[in-house]
Amino acid sequence: MNKIYFQILLSLFLISCSNIKKSTVQTSNKTYDVQLDSLELFDQSRNRKIPVALYHPKSDTKINNQQLIIFSHGYGENKGGDNKIYSYLTEHLASQGYFVISIQHELPTDDLLPMEGDLKVTRRPNWERGTENILYVLNEFKTIKPELDFKHLTLIGHSNGGDMTALFATKYPKLVYKIITMDNRRMPLPRVKHPKIYTLRSKNYAADEGVLPTEQEQKKYGMTVQFTPINHSDMDNDATTEERKILFNHIEKYLSK
């Protein structure tokens, strides 16, 4: 096991010399240059590769209690690389001091996401696999970067990745501090006070019945449902400059609470 962790840490060190980016978005007094690292984890218990993209400040100054965000992408038909098509958001969050892990949930050998039947049922295995990916990555980084603030973990996910995020919060509520779903449409959001639940909605798609809390449930549990003027498919890097500002403002507000 020690050998495995050494190889992971060595890979991080070797990759860290490349892919350095400067965020051009500056919405706070303190921003950082952003570094992108790519890493492939391997869950032996499931015989599964888990590629991840790491977005984090390139800074010689240690960030005390640096908060962790784990991001889950929307469905990409198993083509790969979808964990990097939200870089406008993941880079921006890293520029604010967060350590962001974006998981590639789909592999070319996976079954395609079901499009028929009761989607809450037919897609459940996909979401379950996603939650196990998140759990494995979380546990690995408790060893790789134990200095991170794991008590205030935030999960963010778009569309199908938002469904995974909602399921993770349902199954492992004690492991996550807050979740932000970006237009998840199938998996019901947990009706709980902890973790804190926030969801950003698109203008062109409705969620299935029971996914979103009623106004009474929102008040009871302190949940936030925010509608936006943004199309469902434009919440990734297709978002316009104005749409990105809208998403930044909402997400930063949720993270600061």
Domains in the chain (CATH in brackets) are 2-256 (3.40.50.1820)
Rounded to whole angstroms, how far apart are CA atoms 142 and 140? 5
**Is the Cα torsion angle 23, 71, 176, 196 positive or negative in sign?**
positive
Q: In this predicted model, what pLDDT tens digit does every residue of 202-245 receive, in sequence order? A: 999 999 999 999 999 999 999 999 999 999 999 999 999 999 99
Q: Which residues pair with 101 in a beta bridge?
A: 54, 70
Q: In this predicted model, what pLDDT tens digit does every residue of 23-74 receive, in sequence order? A: 333 334 689 999 999 999 999 999 999 999 999 999 777 899 999 999 999 9
Place of tokens 């949930």: 105
For residues 227, 230, 232, 238, the Cα torsion angle rounded to the nearest 10 degrees is -150
Look at residue 199 and give its three-state secondary structure: strand
Cβ contact 155:70 at 8 Å? yes
H runs (alpha helix) in the chain: 2-15, 87-95, 119-122, 124-144, 160-171, 215-221, 241-256
Whole-model pTM: value is 0.90
